[in-house]
């Protein structure tokens, strides 16, 4: 028979085993899912549910996590491949693909390896799109190529639970002979543009010089015109000033001449001129001197006038001879 100690030992071992089993069951049943992750759970080999981020529970030994799917955006390199353009030029094209799992169930059961499948689909779609355009357009229409490839991949990858966000062509490499021909063409085009720009520069320079000369001549003519106008106005003002001064002088002389003192001043001035005239005509043999006994003021004035007239005639005859 079992003793008390043996019985207590059995009970203790039972509870210890039960506790260990409970801990193991709890640990295996609790499944915390990280952020941006999804766990696909199968029950007896059949899909049961998809667990999102957070604390989740499964039935131990019945349920199991069959797939771990990342919901983050993934960058997948598309290997370089050969593609034929519309004008039968072979190109080496590579790119990078950005995709995201939007349905963990389809990504797990819709395709065996969704990354490989989408990469292959991207390559075939790229070859198809490159074949629709010519070589010259392949460098210019990268953006439209990327958009067309993304649209075609998303249409085919819908059952796989994968969405392609964007596709970028990294490099397009034509054959060496085509590159050399393109370089020669680009060089000729640059030389053509340089020649056109140089001729346009010479043309614009000539136009600017001609325009400058024209403006200079216009300004010079306007300056000469303004100078002549100012000179004429100055001469007119000078003539008016001289005439005004003479008119005022004559007016003053006339006012004085009508007075008695003015008459005497005039007679004195004429007598002085007569004396000067006598000294001047003393050197001329052709002048007849009048007698000196006529010494009155009137006689002196008359004599002076006669002498002045004689001198004027003499000078006129000398000028004509």
**For residues 72 and 318, what is the distance between their CA atoms, to the nearest angstrom?**
128
Burial 125-145 (b: 16+ CB within 10 A, else e): bbeebbeebebeebeebeeeb
**Is residue 118 very low, low, confident or very high in pLDDT (cuts 50, 70, 90)?**
very high
Per-residue confidence (pLDDT) for residue 2, from 0 to 100? 54
**For residues 135 and 79, what is the distance between their CA atoms, to the nearest angstrom?**
20
Residue whose entry in the numeric block shows the structure tokens 């403006």: 215
- Kindly report the pTM of this predicted structure: 0.51
- Say if CB 47 and CB 109 are below 8 A apart: yes
Report CA-CA distances (Å) from 66 to 39, 42, 43, 49, 53: 8, 6, 9, 11, 16
- List the alpha helices (DSSP H) in the chain: 4-29, 104-109, 114-130, 135-140, 142-156, 176-257, 260-281, 297-320
Least confident window among 138-147, 220-229, 261-270, 305-314: 305-314
Residue 6 clears pLDDT 80, i.e. is over it: no
**Is residue 306 very low, low, confident or very high in pLDDT (cuts 50, 70, 90)?**
low
Residue whose entry in the numeric block shows the structure tokens 């056109």: 196
Residue whose entry in the numeric block shows the structure tokens 């006129």: 316
Per-residue confidence (pLDDT) for residue 73, from 0 to 100? 92
- Say if CB 106 and CB 91 are below 8 A apart: no
């Amino acid at each position: 028979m079992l003793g008390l100690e043996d019985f207590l030992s059995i009970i203790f071992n039972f509870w210890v085993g039960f506790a260990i089993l409970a801990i193991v069951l709890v640990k295996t049943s609790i499944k915390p899912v990280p952020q941006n992750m999804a766990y696909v759970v199968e029950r007896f080999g059949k899909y049961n549910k998809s667990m999102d981020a957070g604390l989740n529970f499964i039935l131990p030994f019945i349920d199991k996590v069959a797939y771990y799917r990342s919901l983050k955006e993934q960058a997948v390199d598309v290997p370089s491949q050969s593609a034929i353009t519309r004008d039968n030029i072979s190109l080496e094209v590579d790119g990078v693909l950005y995709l995201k799992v939007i349905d963990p169930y389809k990504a797990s059961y819709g395709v065996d390896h969704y990354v490989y499948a989408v990469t292959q689909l991207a390559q075939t779609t790229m070859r198809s799109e490159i074949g629709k355009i010519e070589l010259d357009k392949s460098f210019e229409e990268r953006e439209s190529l990327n958009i067309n490839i993304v649209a075609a991949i998303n249409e085919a990858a819908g059952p796989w639970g994968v969405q392609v966000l964007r596709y970028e062509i990294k490099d397009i490499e034509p054959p060496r002979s085509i590159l050399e021909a393109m370089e020669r063409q680009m060089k000729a085009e640059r030389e053509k543009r340089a020649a056109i720009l140089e001729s346009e520069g010479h043309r614009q320079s000539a136009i600017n010089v001609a325009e400058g000369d024209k403006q200079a001549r216009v300004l010079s003519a306007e300056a000469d015109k303004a100078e002549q106008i100012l000179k004429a106005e100055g001469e007119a003002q000078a003539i008016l000033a001289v005439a005004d001064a003479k008119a005022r002088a004559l007016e003053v002389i006339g006012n004085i001449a009508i007075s008695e003192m003015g008459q005497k001043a005039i007679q004195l001035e004429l007598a002085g001129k007569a004396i000067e005239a006598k000294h001047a005509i003393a050197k001329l043999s052709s002048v007849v001197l009048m007698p000196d006994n006529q010494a009155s003021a009137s006689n002196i004035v008359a004599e002076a006038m006669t002498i002045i007239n004689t001198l004027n005639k003499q000078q006129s005859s000398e000028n004509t001879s």
